[in-house]
């Protein structure tokens, strides 16, 4: 697994774009905190919402990305009913792949409660095989390159 480019913990100023998400009662597990798998539903939602916000896709089913790798370090407690800000930056931009680094921030906290990795591979929607990032897409993605 790739290592994060910077030592933990990250702060809000370490990220280039933010997406706000709401937590759910069902996100919490028996310990009263967010289940470790729920964090990942925030990762792909934030990445896809950011892609939509910069006009890279109107329909997530047409501009297709497969997920190649994900990871998360859980640093401090977070869970329903907290509000969560998801910070994004791109650490690696390959021919067809995009490596995001992600920070989850609880309510007004300045320090990340969790740090994640999320590697997207751009695929051709018909063949579902890796396809180079189109130039316009690459330019937009460079906008949040770390």
| CA proximity to 50, closest of 118, 113, 111 | 118
- CB proximity list for 51: less than 8 A, separation 6 or greater: 57, 60, 63
CA-CA distance, 36 to 72, in Å (whole number)?
A: 9
Are residues 42 and 82 in contact, defined by beta-carbon separation less than 8 angstroms? no
Smallest distance, a second copy to C-beta of residue 50, A: 11
Span from 32-40, 88-96, 103-111, 130-138 in contact with a second copy (CB under 8 A): 32-40
| Residue 18 interacts with a second copy (CB under 8 A): yes or no | no
Span from 74-82, 92-100, 101-109, 134-142 in contact with a second copy (CB under 8 A): 74-82
For residues 127 to 146, the per-residue mask of contacts with a second copy, x marking binding by CB under 8 A and - elsewhere, is --------------------
Smallest distance, a second copy to C-beta of residue 133, A: 18
């Amino acid at each position: 697994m790739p290592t994060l480019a910077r030592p933990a913990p990250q702060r809000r100023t370490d990220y280039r774009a933010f997406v706000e998400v709401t937590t759910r009662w069902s996100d919490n597990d028996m310990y009263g905190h967010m289940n470790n798998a729920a964090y990942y539903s925030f990762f792909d939602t934030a990445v896809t919402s950011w892609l939509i916000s910069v006009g890279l896709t109107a329909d997530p089913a047409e501009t297709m990305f497969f997920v190649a790798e994900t990871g998360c370090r859980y640093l401090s407690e977070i869970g329903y009913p907290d509000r969560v800000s998801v910070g994004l930056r791109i650490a690696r931009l390959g021919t067809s792949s995009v490596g995001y680094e992600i920070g989850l921030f609880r309510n007004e906290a300045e320090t990340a409660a969790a740090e994640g990795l999320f590697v997207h591979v751009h695929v051709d929607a018909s063949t579902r095989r890796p396809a180079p990032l189109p130039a316009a897409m690459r330019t937009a993605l460079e906008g949040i390159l770390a």
